[in-house]
Structure formats: structure tokens, C-alpha cells
A and B are shown apart, each in its own frame.
Chain A
Amino acid sequence: MNGVHDMGGMDGFGKVEAEKNEPPFHEEWEGRVLALVRSMGYAGAWHIDDSRYAQETLPPQTYLAVSYYQRWELAAEKNLLARGYVTQEELKAGHAIGPSKPLPRKLTKDVVDAGMTRSSFFRQQQGPARFKPGDRVRTVNINPLTHTRLPRYARDKVGTVELIHGCHAYPDSVATGRGDDPQWLYTVVFDGREIWGPDADPTLTISIDAFEPYLEPA
């Protein structure tokens, strides 16, 4: 979806301000949110792209106004409600009221290390890769209302395939409940001027990681 989360190339947000000696968390609740979202992901309540999509579909005013971990919390509430793991009444009461919904597994203390290792997104290939390094490609012009990982600034642009990363779960499919639909994944590099026009920094190149359905031969 063409949401405010798709920020590449937007102007007006100002300088990047780094904080000196920044702590891992600024508030105790931030760590709790991170850990509970991790736990629910491990349990199989949702996929990572469901979390991303839940954030993307927050009202744009909210998305910009709240902090990173507040977005995580709001997205978790949305996904818990949408999938029937909690009810609105329970959120209001602050306690469980109705029965639980079964989950495939649970992140307990004894499996924390396994639960914190990032899962693999490699999937069985469904056919040969259509492109190879060095191929010229044009990204498609798509504007789906659903989740996609093709940023707006990189649509309908000509670039070169640089790397092949194997076959991966396809976020556009996963986040719409249509399963993994495995797709080849490529790093595609663009000249800065192809993206931003003739005034762009001539020394700039930009790459995205593009799933095969995002690409056509150029």
C-alpha cells in the first residue's frame, strides 16, 4: 500500500539526530513490547509481514506521531484482535475473560535462545530463476492496497541484477493470507539519476532487494 511508512525520498523530515550513548531501551515497557511481540511470533500467532502490514495500516497521523515501540504495541493489539487471540473487552478490562485460542507452540524460558535466533526465509524453489547477475531489468509499476516490499521510489525503474539470494517466502502473498508463494530474490542496483533524475548525485547508486514478480526484462 502507498502508506506513509514508504518514506524513501520524502523531503522535510529534517536532520538525522543521533543520541550519544543511547541505551538499548529508553523505557522499561519498550523491552516488554519487543519481547511479547517476539514471543507471539514464535508461538505462530502471525508472520513478520503481518506485523509490518498492521503498522502500515495505522492512520498516517498516528504512524508519524508515535514512537517505534508504540507502533509495535498498536500493531500487536490489531493482530491479536483480528486473529481472535484477545477480545476488545479483554483489552479494556486488562485481564483474560474468554477462552484461549490454541497456538502451535510457546516461547518458554528454556527455549529462549532458539526463539531469538532469526528464522530462515528460504523456501523450496518453484522453478528456475528468471534472471542472473548482470541482467538489465525494469521494476513493475504496481500500487496494491495490500502489503508490498517494492518501495514507491523504485517502481518502473531500470536497473541491473547484482546478487541472487535464493528463493524466499513472498511478503506480498504471506501478508494477504495466501501462503509463502516462494519467489526468487535479487539485489537490483539503480543509478541515482534513474531514480531521482538528472540532478541526482552522480556518484550515487541505490539497491533494493526485489522479489522476482517485481521485475521484467529491460
Chain B
Amino acid sequence: MADHDHSHEHGSELSETQLRVRALETILTEKGYIDPSALDAIVEAYETKIGPRNGALVVAKAWTDPAFRQALLKDATAAVGTLGHVSPVGDHLVAVENTPQRHNMIVCTLCSCYPWEVLGLPPVWYKSAPYRSRAVKDPRGVLTDFGVKLAKETEIRVWDSTAETRFIVLPMRPAGTEGWSEERLADLVTRDSMIGTGLALTPAEIAK
């Protein structure tokens, strides 16, 4: 993956940042600190393997297996570790559950902490100043930006990831999904529903 497609570039001109990064990689390689083939493997893993499907499978399992749901809410790291089809996560994962009374939302106001192992790389908006500044003060306004409207009386809990603890929201299971398999349910679990800026899709939404 050393020379990827550069279709997004105009002509062969390299940006200043591209040049800086290439120079840095060259220096660190020549000095023996880094292995470019390991860099390739890391990039490839984030492009192909580590994404929100991991989290969606965890959520789908929690929706169908009450014992797993309990274990997940008690110790998410340990619970995810018991799933063979999801890669193990670091020590500090916490799952927080949405209910009809309470909606949870995750943010990192100080940098951009995010549960990479279960959701992949954070989207640009999650790392942006608008989200980091407003999520703790005006979460309903943020939800409006995402087209989500909660009942006026629903409690909103915002979790600011100020340490190495990482949070994942367990969204509510949509109605009309009784008897669905975990695989099928996982298709309803969006990345945003596990951050708390969205809800799980309904069967009608996914049919569109």
C-alpha cells in the first residue's frame, strides 16, 4: 500500500503536508525506528477490518441474548472478549444503555477519544470543534443537526471521555424485529447510533 492511488490529486503536484509526511516517514525508516511494511498493515487494517461492524455485532448480540447484555453492561471489555467474531478490545470499554427514559451521547471535548476497536476511526465531525464544543452544552441542538428529535422529557446523558475509558452506546432495539438473526439485526446498528447522535434504523428505513 506504499503507493496508493492518487486520483484525488490534481496532476502530480504534492501538497506541503504530503511532502512533510513523506520526509518524516523516510527519516524514521532510515533511522531504523519504523518499518514501512508495518505502516502498510496498520493502514490496511483500518481501511478493511476495524470498523463499526464490530460494534454492531456486539449490539445485536446484546439485543438477542439477555445474559450477554447483562455481562456487557457490567464489564464490556470482558464481554466483548468472549465473542470470537469480534477482535479483542483494550481494558477500558464501558457500554451504556439507551432506554425510553434515557438517551446517552459520547464525546471527547479535550481531544477526540473514541472507541476505535469497536467503531473504527472516528468520523471528521466527531473530531470537529462544533461537536466537541456543543455536545456537552446543547446535545439536543446537536441531535437536531443529525435529524434526531427526542421526547421533551427524555433524560440526556453526555459522557465526556476525559480519561482512557472508552464508551459505546447500546441503542434501543427497534420495534418489528422480533425473531431476527443477529446478522440481520446488526444491519440496523449504525455507527451514529453507537455514539448517540443517531438511533438504530427501523425495518422500514433499511427497506428503502
Contacts and interface: CB of A to CB of B under 8 A. Distances in A.
A29 B17 contact: yes
A107 B35 contact: yes
A151 B110 contact: yes
Contacts, number: 267
A126 B50 CA distance: 36
Contacts of A9: 109, 133, 136-137
Interface residues of A, number: 90
B1 to A, nearest CB: 8
B18 interface: yes
Nearest to B138: A201
Interface string A35-50: 1101110010100100
B53 interface: no
B32 interface: yes
A39 B109 contact: no
Helix, strand, loop or mixed for chain A's interface?
Answer: mixed
A142 interface: no
B75 to A, nearest CB: 11
Contacts of B51: 24
Given A27-B18, A36-B28, A96-B27, A205 B109 contact: no
B8 A27 contact: yes
A187 interface: yes
Contacts of B107: 8
Given A8-B107, A149-B163, A189-B157, 18 more contacts: A7-B110, A13-B128, A16-B130, A18-B123, A24-B120, A25-B46, A29-B17, A39-B28, A40-B28, A107-B35, A120-B91, A151-B109, A151-B160, A203-B152, A205-B156, A206-B157, A206-B160, A208-B162
6 contacts: A11-B133, A13-B130, A27-B8, A27-B17, A109-B38, A115-B38
